A and B are shown apart, each in its own frame.
Chain A
Amino acid sequence: MEMVPETEIQDEGILKQQREIEKEVAEIHPLVGNKQPLTCLLKEYMDDPIYTNKLTKLAGVYQSIRRVRPDGNCFFRGFGFSYFERLLDNEEEWKTFQAIVMGTKDQLISQGFPKFTLEDFFDSFMEVVNRLGGEGKMDAEELSRIFNDAGTSDYLVVYLRLVTSGQLQKEEDFYQNFLEGGKSMREFCQQEVEPMYRESDHMHAIALGSALKVGIRVVYLDRGEITTSPPEHDFPEDCTPSVYLLYRPGHYDILYK
């Protein structure tokens, strides 16, 4: 029995449409944009008193924002850029981070990740990390260029995804509690962590932050009625945040104090 051809035509149509949307998004949004004052967001929400109110409060704490392309990778890309940018000014922390990243490769291979492709992503990641300090240190402009070169930028995202997946599986007993819908951790990682363009939530954030020993603070901005400032969460809990991200439903951008 052959499958109904209409399904195929429909699927082709959906794929085509999806590619067009992706292309459009890519044209409007750079992978990682320039730093802008946080108040620029006010323009987007002029008719929205809740957002305006929250943003005004937020602007008292955070000065600027750097937008990240909304392609499902924004958490990883935003995290990567923000932390690398910080390392450019923190030689000691950079050395520690270098050592941590070095350790992730063998850890992931020992967990059964395919060595050949893993090494490829690790090498590319390390190549960039190695240049965040020391002799051949790059400047902020070059970092921005690297993150806006799709090939390299996506290599960095993939490695962060693999590290996250490795951590989730290594500490499965802990993370299992967050899983919904009877999925196994392996399945969750294969479906929600490792593939590109899959969005991230707090589980990804805790795992990535723990694996690389980087504190992440996420500020939540949504339409929920509150009188105080927008809620903030640190991942992992009780960490000292080094990376600040603004979360609006479905999307992360980078925040600056």
Chain B
Amino acid sequence: MSKHNNSATSRLKQDYLRLKKDPIPYVVAEPLPSNILEWHYVVSGPENSPYEGGYYHGKLLFPAEFPFKPPSIYMITPNGRFKPNTRLCLSISDFHPDSWNPAWSVSTILTGLLSFMLEKSPTLGSIETTDHEKRCLAEQSLKFNLGDKIFNELFPDIAIKIQKEIELRKAAVEMATKSSLPTILSTESGNNPLPFLGDRRVGRVDYPGLLANVVVIAGFTLFAFIVKHVLKSLSID
């Protein structure tokens, strides 16, 4: 019966393979390479929820008696739903060993966590915030996660995605700043100052010029939105 001498380890390995084979929506999870009893997960905020665009990093700590006893569940990224770094009281967590079912897997736990996150019902470790506050936290979550060493180590793909997202946002902001001097890009003279357009035929110069104007306008609109957003959040705080 050597198979179950360390039932938690063997079961968690199986759960891991299972999770790779049948991923669950919006959540990925990885055990620490040094300790299979500690898993980290990332929830990608689902569309049409106040968490959209946010990434939420947390961890599951499994007892040596898993799957007979439930894990404890923590959320690390500030999210507006659960207190960060506090053991959460869910029916799937170790606050309720009485309702824990050994037939539940890591997938069940993560699915349960996500659905509880999307609900509003209070529990120990939960906090109440407005949707607006949640959206602000969703935005801040990108930078927050990149500052976490384990996050970067275990989820390099997401870290790269977040990095790109941040650059995109930065670019949009820069673009918006430039748009405060819109006349520079005027192409009415026909003498385009940009060297890479130099060898284009004169008749087509207007086209990229138009495009530039559209981009500028779009950038400006985006900038206006961000300013509005920031002002709103400041007024709430």
Point out the residue from B68, B69, B126 that lies within 8 Å of A3, measured CB to CB: B126
What 0/1 readout, one digit per residue, does chain B (50-89) give for beta carbons within 8 Å of chain A? 0000000000000001011100000000000001001001
**Which of A53-61, A194-202, A205-213 lies at the interface?**
A194-202
Name the CB-closest residue of A to B89: A11
Which of A11, A15, A117 is the most central at the interface, judged by chain B CB atoms within 10 Å of its CB? Answer: A117
A240 interface contact, C-beta 8 A: no
Beyond A120-B11, A124-B4, A152-B1, whether A195 also contacts B101 by CB under 8 A is yes
Interface residues, chain A, with chain B CB atoms under 8 Å away: 1-3, 7-8, 11, 15, 113-114, 116-118, 120-121, 124, 127-128, 146, 149-152, 154-155, 158, 161-162, 190-191, 194-198
Q: Which residues of A contact B101 (CB under 8 A)?
A: 190, 194-195
In-complex Cβ contact of B98 among A3, A146, A150, A195 (8 A): A195
Nearest residue (CB) in A for B101 is A194
Q: Does B149 contact A (CB under 8 A)?
A: no
Contact at B124–A11, with CB atoms within 8 Å?
Answer: yes
B67 contacts A149, CB within 8 Å? no
Complex interface: chain B residues within 8 A of A155 (CB): 4, 7
How close is B125's CB to chain A, nearest CB, in angstroms?
7
Q: Which residues of B contact A (CB under 8 A)?
A: 1, 3-7, 11, 14, 18, 65, 67-69, 83, 86, 89, 94-95, 97-105, 108, 122, 124-128
Residues of chain A within 8 A (CB-CB) of B14 are 116, 120
- New A-B contacts (10) at CB < 8 Å, excluding given A154-B102, A162-B103: A1-B128, A8-B124, A11-B89, A11-B124, A114-B108, A124-B3, A127-B3, A155-B4, A195-B101, A196-B68
Please give, as numbers and ranges, the residues of chain B lying within 8 Å of A161 by CB-CB distance: 102
| Chain B residues within 8 Å of A158, by CB | 67-68, 102-103
Closest to A3 in B: B124
- A118 engages B128 (CB within 8 Å): no
- Of all A-B residue pairs in the complex, the 9 with the closest CB atoms, nearest first, are A151-B4, A151-B7, A117-B103, A152-B4, A158-B102, A194-B101, A152-B1, A154-B68, A196-B68
Compute how far the CA of A114 lies from the CA of B22 in the bound complex, rounded to whole angstroms: 13
Contact status A154-B7, CB under 8 Å? yes
Smallest CB separation, A237 vs chain B (Å): 29
Whole-angstrom distance between the Cβ of B13 and the nearest chain A Cβ: 11
Query: Are A117 and B7 in contact (CB-based, < 8 A)?
Result: no
In the complex, 7 of the A-B residue pairs with CB atoms within 8 angstroms, ordered by the A residue number, are A1-B127, A11-B124, A117-B103, A128-B1, A151-B1, A151-B6, A196-B102
Q: Do the beta carbons of A151 and B103 come within 8 Å of each other?
A: no
When distances are taken between beta carbons in the complex, the residues of chain A under 8 Å from B7 are 151-152, 154-155
Residues of B within 8 Å of A198, CB to CB, are 98
B99 engages A191 (CB within 8 Å): yes
C-alpha gap A67/B68 in the complex (Å): 22
Once the chains bind, are A197 and B125 in contact (CB under 8 Å)? Answer: no
The answer on a CB contact under 8 Å between B98 and A197 is: yes
**CB distance A117 to B127 under 8 Å?**
no
Specify which chain B residues have a CB less than 8 angstroms from the CB of A7 in the assembled complex. 124
B221 to chain A, nearest CB (A): 37
B126 A149 Cβ-Cβ under 8 A: no
Q: Which residue of A lies closest to B124 (CB)?
A: A3
Chain A's closest residue to B83 (CB) is: A2
CA distance A15 to B72 in the complex (A): 12
